């Protein structure tokens, strides 16, 4: 017998027929004798509808009331799944985040989980009950419902798995695992059997949409073995109930991966914009004077490149931001011009960031050179480069994104078994 947390995303619970299919997955684990808790998202499209209604009611709305509205989608799904499970003879009960309780900070709309007392759910296990929990939500210090940001149900599930010391956390979605790259771009992309927490964190933060970044961070910190699985697989197919290695991709400690590839995957993020400040005075504190105000404006700055002039008096500073934040960033920089002392600011949207990721890069030389040579042979110009121990990110012109992804996927042999 094992303790399992199962999470189902919006497409998995999009209608009653799919909720019945989800219930079959849950019943399979219950019939195998496991202790099961389930975390659900809102039905596909429902959160967007609720957000739209909130903005229609008032563009400048109270964040606390926004959370009260948008959290209702998960509540509906949890109740419907509990009813369906009960109809199948499974002892199930739905619970909202505040009833567990999942305690969060006060950042309504983007709250972070502070604490979950697993005793409540462990008591439910002892009673033979399947707890169906509304994901994406908790309760803040102000005693109000607080939501965790888009994709927050993944974070709810991993946090609950850590709190109850679950043997594993299964994230069911509309794909059957984590792939070497986006199969829509490269048909030869392969599903990975295992991927390390660090690699998955990089993949998620650099454009892969399989899991929310914070959920991977939590899984890594608490060492929660996490499987990415497809809810559209037949719940009763052979191997679906395998306790140790069910179908899908296991996200785990690096030590569990026996054969480590040099490169594990290629991620990409479109809609990046490049901003350059020309002839900035090269003095202590200038970088803080630029990036501090951008951070205060909640603008996520990513790649940063700095070039010093020959005389050492000036520097050119180039960085990237999401395209949607360009106007806001330029407004901040305009206010800083007198203080920072730059000559001109230039911006260009339509960039893409393509990243090569793999824990094997720590011990292998020449990985970056291989990427640069391969892109050069395809006449793809590199605008900026950043590296870490296990990743190389390259900024290129947007129209070359798919060609770059396919080229890098092939040059590192990811299209071969």
Take residue 80 and report the two structure tokens written for it: 């419907």
pLDDT above 90 (res 204): no
- Please, which pLDDT band fits residue 218 given cuts at 50, 70 and 90? very high
Residue-level pLDDT at 241: 84
Residue 84 has pLDDT above 90, yes or no: yes
Residue 232 Cα distances to 13, 82, 169, 173, 301, angstroms: 11, 19, 18, 8, 37
What is the spatial distance between Cα 288 and Cα 304, in angstroms, rounded to a whole number?
A: 13
Quick count: other Cβ atoms within 10 Å of Cβ 281?
12
pLDDT at 207: 65
User: What's the rounded mean pLDDT across residues 202-221?
Assistant: 85
Q: What is the pLDDT of residue 161?
A: 97
Rounded mean pLDDT of 76-96? 98
Task: List C-alpha distances in Å: 362 to 166, 222, 367.
Answer: 31, 24, 10
Give the separation between CA 363 and CA 295, rounded to whole angstroms.
Answer: 34
Assigned CATH topology for domain 265-411 = VC0802-like (3.30.2130)
Q: Which residues of 31-62 are buried (b: 16+ CB within 10 A; e: fewer)?
A: eeebbbbbbbbbbbebbeebeeebeeeeeeee
pLDDT at 259 (0 to 100): 67
pLDDT at 258 over 80: no
Q: Is the pLDDT of residue 301 over 70?
A: yes
* CATH code that applies to domain 3-254: 3.40.1160.10
Supply angle C-alpha 95, 100, 102, rounded to 5.
Answer: 115
Residue 336 is predicted with a pLDDT of 87
Closest CA to 248 of 173, 198, 360, 188: 173
The strand pair at 35-40 and 130-134 is best described as parallel
SS3 sequence, the chain? CCEEEEEECHHHHCCHHHHHHHHHHHHHHHHCCCEEEEEECCCCCHHHHHHHHHHHHCCCCCHHHHHHHHCHHHHHHHHHHHHHHHHCCCCEEEECHHHCCEEECCCCCCCCEEEECCHHHHHHHHCCCEEEEECCEEECCCCCEEECCCCHHHHHHHHHHHHCCCCEEEEEECCCCCECCCCCCCCCCCECCEEEHHHHHHHHHCCCCCCCHHHHHHHHHHCCCEEEEECCCCCCCCCCCCCCCCCCEEEECHHHCCCCCCCCEEEEEEEEEEEEEEEEECCCCHHHHHHHHHHHCCCCCCCEEEEECCCCCEEEEEEEEEHHHHHHHHHHHHHHHHHHCCCEEEEEEEEEEEEEECHHHHHCCCHHHHHHHHHHHCCCCCCEEEEECCEEEEEEEHHHHHHHHHHHHHHCCCCCC
For the cut 90, the answer to whether the pLDDT of residue 387 exceeds it is no
Q: Is the pLDDT of residue 312 over 80?
A: no
Predicted local confidence at residue 220, as pLDDT: 94
Hey, which residues does 22 pair with through a beta bridge?
none
Same fold for the pair 3-254 and 265-411? no
Least confident residue range of 221-225, 341-345, 347-351, 373-377 = 341-345
Question: What confidence score (pLDDT) does residue 150 get?
Answer: 82
- How would residue 283 be classed by pLDDT, with cut points 50, 70 and 90? confident
Question: Is residue 351 within 8 Å of residue 396, measured between CB atoms?
Answer: yes
Tell me what the mean pLDDT of segment 7-21 comes to.
96
Res. 32 pLDDT band, cuts 50 70 90: very high
Which sequence spans correspond to the domains of the chain? 3-254, 265-411
User: Quick one: average pLDDT of 19-43?
Assistant: 97
Going 58 to 63 to 64 to 70, the CA torsion angle's sign is positive
Alpha-carbon span 79 to 100, nearest angstrom: 15
Q: What is the pLDDT of residue 53?
A: 96
Tens of pLDDT, residues 45-69 = 999 999 999 999 998 889 999 999 9
pLDDT of residue 22: 97
pLDDT digits 0-9 by tens, 176-190: 899 999 988 999 999
Question: Which pLDDT does position 20 carry in this prediction?
Answer: 97
Q: Model-level pTM?
A: 0.86
Q: Say which residue, 392 or 281, is predicted with more confidence.
A: 392
Residue 309 in this model has a pLDDT that exceeds 70: no
- pLDDT tens digit sequence for 89-128: 999 999 999 999 999 999 999 899 999 999 999 999 999 9
pLDDT in tens, 325-354: 999 999 999 988 888 888 888 999 999 999
The strand pair at 304-308 and 249-252 is best described as unpaired
Residue 238 banded pLDDT, cuts 50, 70, 90 = confident
Strand order in the sheet with 113-116: 113-116, 102-104, 137-139, 145-147
Asked if residues 168 and 2 have their Cβ atoms less than 8 Å apart, the reply is: yes
- The pLDDT assigned to 300 comes to 87
- Average of per-residue pLDDT values in the chain: 91
At 396 the pLDDT is 95
């Amino acid at each position: 017998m094992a303790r399992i947390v199962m999470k189902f995303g919006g497409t998995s619970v999009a209608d009653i027929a799919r909720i019945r299919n989800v219930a079959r997955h849950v019943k399979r684990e219950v019939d195998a004798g496991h202790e099961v808790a389930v975390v659900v998202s809102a039905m596909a499209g429902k959160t967007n509808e609720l957000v739209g209604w909130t903005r229609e009611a008032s563009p400048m709305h109270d964040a606390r009331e926004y959370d009260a509205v948008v959290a209702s989608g998960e509540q509906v799904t949890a109740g419907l799944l509990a009813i369906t499970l009960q109809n199948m003879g499974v002892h199930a009960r739905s619970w909202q985040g505040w009833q567990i309780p999942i305690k969060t900070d006060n950042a309504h709309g983007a709250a972070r989980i502070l604490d979950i007392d697993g005793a409540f759910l462990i008591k439910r296990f002892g009673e033979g009950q399947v707890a169906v929990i509304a994901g994406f939500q908790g309760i803040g210090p102000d005693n109000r419902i607080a939501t965790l940001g888009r994709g927050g149900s993944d974070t709810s599930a991993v946090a609950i798995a850590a709190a109850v010391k679950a043997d594993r956390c299964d994230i069911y979605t509309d794909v059957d695992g984590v792939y070497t790259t986006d199969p829509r771009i490269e048909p030869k992309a392969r599903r990975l059997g295992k991927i390390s927490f660090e690699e998955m964190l990089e993949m998620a933060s650099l454009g892969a949409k399989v899991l929310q970044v914070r959920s991977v961070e939590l899984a890594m910190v608490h060492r929660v073995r996490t499987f990415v699985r497809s809810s559209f697989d037949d719940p009763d197919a052979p191997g679906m109930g395998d306790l140790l290695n069910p179908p899908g991709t296991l996200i785990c400690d690096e030590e569990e991966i026996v054969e480590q590839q040099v490169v594990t995957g290629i991620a990409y993020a479109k809609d990046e914009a490049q901003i350059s400040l020309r002839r900035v005075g090269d003095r202590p504190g200038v970088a803080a004077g630029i990036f501090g105000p951008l951070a205060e404006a909640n603008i996520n700055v990513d790649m940063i490149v700095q070039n010093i002039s020959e005389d050492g008096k000036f520097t050119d500073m180039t960085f990237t931001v999401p395209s949607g934040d360009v106007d806001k960033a330029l407004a901040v920089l305009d206010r800083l011009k007198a203080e920072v002392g730059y000559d001109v600011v230039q911006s260009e949207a339509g960039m893409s960031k393509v990243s090569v990721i793999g824990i094997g890069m720590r011990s292998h030389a020449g990985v970056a050179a291989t990427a640069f040579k391969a892109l050069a042979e395809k006449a793809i110009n590199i605008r900026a480069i950043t590296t870490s121990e296990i990743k190389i990110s390259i900024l290129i012109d947007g129209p070359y994104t798919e060609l770059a992804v396919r080229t890098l996927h092939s040059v590192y042999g990811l299209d071969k078994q």
